[in-house]
Amino acid sequence: MKYKNEILSFSKVQYQNGVLGIQVMCQEGPFATLSTNLGVKPSEGCFWLKSWSENQQLAEFMVSNGYVVLTGKVAQAGYADAYEAKLTEKGELFVF
């Protein structure tokens, strides 16, 4: 997928507590971490979307372009909210 001037893909990772993490990769290597690891586990196949700070525009792009869907669950992440999310079929096409 193309975001700004970068060609991006997803890499699924697993945090030490078994929670799904999503790393966004560009041609040069890691681009951003789309997920965050909280004390609350997300639903099966879901992750906590880090949509604040440097990730705000990227998270909005992923949701508005149909790569990620929000489930409606929200968890506190310090002073910000993390939204439970899942890669869509379209998003899964970019997992490598």
Give the tens place of pLDDT for each residue, 2-18.
999 999 999 999 999 99
Residues 6+ apart with CB under 8 A from 92: none
Query: Which has the closest alpha carbon to 36: 23, 49, 45?
Result: 49
pLDDT score for 39: 85
The pLDDT, as a whole number, for residue 4 is 93
Q: Where are the domains of the chain?
A: 2-92
Residue 28 has a pLDDT of 95
Q: Give, rounded to a whole angstrom, the gap between the first and last alpha carbons of the chain.
A: 12
Distance between CA 38 and CA 44 in Å, rounded? Answer: 15
pTM of the model: 0.93
